[in-house]
Amino acid sequence: MNRTLDALEGAIGGRRVRLDESLDTHTILKEKGHAEFYIETDTTDDLIKIVREARRLGFPVFILGGGSYARIPDNGIKGLVVKNNCRRFDKMNIRGAIRNSQVGVQEVIVSAESGVILNQLVRFTIEEGLEGLEYQLGLPGTLGGAICTNAKYKNKHARDFLYSIRILGGNGEVQVYTKDLPYFLSPEAELQETEDVILSAVFKLAPEDKKILWRRGEEALGYRNNFELRI
């Protein structure tokens, strides 16, 4: 075990891997159970390195976001649990046109890492006056989880404005999908375990009045809150 621990820590440097880590404080649902090996990463580079090293060692790897859908076995998880705290996001590019000496914004590109807290990203886009993610207001968990499950409110889905997605594949290669999504994200694929790891995503969003966006978001949030009360 010591050799495995040294190899995992050597991949990213420092004594950061924990043994027999309780997971109840790392999941929204406070799931019981322990991880044989546990580490938290806040950079995509470290996330890639630690996953590659664990696979090289023949270790099972489990990526944990907010844990809103996580179901931890009573006997714990054998292998490495990586808590994805990669939470950077920003506006990348703005496209528009100048008409009558006025600049009209038509499209804004927003990039976000997969560990971003979804609700923070949604609130950011609303405050920036960008349409596309507002119906996901109030959803728990991370962006990666929302993309995996294609979180929705009525007929509004988290992937509706998805432009591209960056993934660490099971073969250890980093790939960017800009048109056809990988199979595990296709509409016909059921939610399943996969060796692919979502690293980041890019959205194409359009300008909209903030008051309208907040009204839409609060509509969806109210529905979710009422639904939770009913169950």
Instruction: Tell me the per-residue pLDDT of 70-109, one tens digit each, with 9 for 90 and over.
Output: 677 778 888 899 999 999 999 987 665 445 444 456 889 9
Greater confidence (199 vs 188) lies with 199
Greater confidence (181 vs 21) lies with 21
- Per-domain residue ranges of the chain: 2-84, 89-230
Instruction: Tell me the per-residue pLDDT of 5-22, one tens digit each, with 9 for 90 and over.
Output: 788 888 888 788 999 888
Burial 3-34 (b: 16+ CB within 10 A, else e): ebeeebbebbeeeebeeebebeebbeeebebb
CATH architecture group of domain 2-84: 2-Layer Sandwich (3.30)
Whether 82 contacts 192, CB under 8 Å: no
Q: 89-230: what CATH class? A: alpha beta
Instruction: Provide the pLDDT for residue 25.
Output: 81
